[in-house]
Structure 1
Amino acid sequence: MQLGIHYANFTHPDWQHQLTERLTETARIADQGGVAQFTVMDHWFQMEVLGGPSEPMLEGYTTLGYLAAVTERLRLSLLVTGVTYRHPGLLAKTVTTLDVLSGGRAMLGIGAAWYEREHLGLGVPFPPLKERFERLEETLQIVRQLWSGDQTPYAGTHYQLAEPVNVPPPLQTPPPIMIGGSGERKTLRLVAQYADACNLFGESPDAIRHKLEVLRGHCEQVGTDYEALEKTMIFRGDPTQDPDAFLAVMETYATLGISMITMTPPGDDPVAWATDMSERVVPRLSEI
């Protein structure tokens, strides 16, 4: 099993002066310490549960581009791109650019978007949920088409591309797509039809087992290979407090098919946490 670090909180002590250095050092330690993936949020306001708009938040793809230059191994992604924020043709180009400049380490994490306050606050249209899912499916079709090299004009309900050209192409053929969320009727169907990975919300083993059974059913319906999908999950807690107990729980999730656990550094010192995880947890986690 692998570890992904999700750097969701920039509000650490003296962030006004140390935000960049702390982010950089956390990513470098993760890169050198066996962590497989590093993600940041696609939010323009901090989430209210972490303090809301008055707290610091960096734009996601600019941050990933910076991290590409200071790391060598980590897969880089947003967790997850909000479909409402970027036209899909431009999004495909953005992720392609990240893939080229990172040496083939980009992943498109994407979802239907949800944070209405930041949409209204910054003047971004926030369609109803049904339309957001329609736009998500069209976006998935468009990025896959651009990454395949197919320049046929695209005519959808919400998006029309007269000339879907993408030069240079991504180094990966194509970059993997991960869809975030656990919705059984729409989200997991889109995973089965368009994605390479899912990212489920951290729930009990029984709940995860059920979600994966639903995903398997969608795969059977659309004719895709369930076993080939990467199954990832957000997990909350601090493994450094009791690594043995944490690893025992991870063994349970691994038997269900989860291959990566994504965690946000707790507390005020993500550098120390990433160091501790790399030294005491990641080597043992990789053996599961």
Structure 2
Amino acid sequence: MARPVRFGVTLPQIKRSWQEARAAAVEFDRLGFDSVWVCDHLHSVPMPTLPIFEAWSELAAVAAITERVELGTLVTPPFFRNPAVLAKQVATIDHIAGGRTIVGLGAGWFASEFEAYGCPFPSLGARLGALEETAQVLRRLWTEERTTFEGKHCTVRDAVCEPKPVRRPPILIGGSGERRLMGIAARHADIWNNLAAFQPELGAKVEALRRRCAEVGRDFASIEVSQQCLVVVAETDDAARTGLERAQKIYGGHMGAGLEAHGIWGTPERVIDRIERHRALGCTLLVIEFFGRDTRDPARLFAEKVMPAFR
């Protein structure tokens, strides 16, 4: 049976008040989005002086004021937190949420925030190794009575994580490296997320993940493919084009590269077509950052005129 298309949306987190984040979370829940997401950075990127909420603290608060949406990070890197402590944090938040957490994991990339907070920032290979060990520690602590794990980067001795999460939280692995990262996803991920910067290459990345799954004997269909994406939606072509041009200037290469040719933008009808193109490549979860000062406005238009086409 084919997976349904699901829609996640990012919460206000950078240079926003808690009142703004709270209002958005409640509205996204009401509108019928499937999940809400935050980034996991200790300071803003690339401007560290901009205020930013800590990811799991914000999700704990959001868990208490929402009823239906799943809650996830895009993504939590190793070395910010002890993985066993992270398992305990997530289990607690999962109880507040009634079983709605998703743990997004990635290797981390912005060296200066690690250094500023006194966190190790070893080579990419070491960070990927720690990422894989983190996924192993999380899953074991959520399912075993007592856990002992001796890894190169993570050590847990006779640890108990009680209460267990309400459900075993799905693990999302985020990143676009076709060899080692996708090998980790093939072994441990429930969801794989393609970075926005690689959205034009989604088809090739999906095929790379399919190959890694074959190598480890994993059923590719058991992993949900997701895409981080900027979405510009407006009632008219002119308004959509204006929004696109502004978004490309503001976001640059991080989320704006290839947006016109490969991204999701336009009137609701055009946006539906662009989403269908992603679904044809195997992507069934979009983690959306709406373009706009108050992202509730485009989210309302999207919920009213785009989401019904996929329900």
Both proteins in one fold, TM over 0.5: yes
Report how far residue 28 of structure 1 moved: 0.9
Letter of the structure 1 residue corresponding to residue 30 of structure 2: Q
1:6 aligns with 2:4: no
Counterpart among 18, 21, 37 of residue 19 in structure 2: 21
CA distance in 2, matches of 1:150, 1:182: 34
Aligned-pair CA distance for 1:8? 5.6
Alignment-mate amino acid for residue 278 of structure 2: Y
Paired residue type of 2:32: G
- 1:204 to partner: Cα distance: 7.5
- 2:153 equivalent in structure 1: 158
Give the alignment partner of residue 97 of structure 1, picking from 77, 82, 92.
92
Give the deviation of 1:63 after TM superposition. 0.1
1:112 aligns to what SS in structure 2?
Answer: coil
Q: Which amino acid aligns with 1:239?
A: V
The letter for the 1-side match of 2:80 is: Y
Q: In the TM superposition, what whole-angstrom CA distance separates every residue of 1:118-167 from its partner, at most 9, and x where no partner exists?
A: 11222222112111111111111111111121524211112221112111
- Is the Cα–Cα contact under 8 Å of residues 39 and 55 in structure 2 kept in the other structure? yes
Alignment of 1:106-185 (within 5 A): 106-172=101-167, 174-185=168-179
- Cα deviation digits, residues 223-256 of structure 1 (max 9, x gap): 1111011110012231233111111111111011
Equivalent of 2:303, from 278, 281, 284? Answer: 278
1:255 equivalenced with 2:259 (yes/no): no
**Counterpart-to-counterpart distance in 1, 2:104 and 2:198:** 23
Cα distance, 1:204–1:137 mapped onto 2, change above 3 Å: closer
**2:141 and 2:159 in contact (8 A); partners too:** yes
Output the TM-score relative to the length of structure 1: 0.91
Q: Distance in 1 between matches of 2:274 and 2:303?
A: 18
| Identity in percent | 32
The number of aligned residues is: 276
Tell me how far apart the structure 1 counterparts of residues 61 and 298 of structure 2 sit (CA, whole Å). 22
Q: What letter matches 1:188 in structure 2?
A: M
For 2:290, the aligned partner's letter is P
Which residue is equivalent to 1:88? 83
CA distance in 2, matches of 1:72, 1:60: 19
Runs of 4+ aligned structure 1 residues displaced above 4 Å come to 203-206
What is aligned with 1:221? 215
Amino acid at match of 1:266: F
The equivalent position to 1:231 in structure 2, one of 225, 234, 238, is: 225
- Counterpart CA distance in 2 for 1:22 and 1:165 is 37
Q: 1:246 aligns to what?
A: 271
* SS of residue in 2 equivalent to 1:72: coil
What root-mean-square deviation, in Å, do the aligned CA atoms of Structure 1 and Structure 2 show?
A: 1.7
Secondary structure, in 3 states, of the residue corresponding to 2:101? coil
d(CA) in 1 for partners of 2:137, 2:199? 35
Amino acid at match of 1:153: T
Instruction: Give 5+ residue unaligned stretches, structure 1.
Output: none
Higher RCO structure (Cα 8 Å, ≥6 apart):
1
Offset, 1:183: 0.6
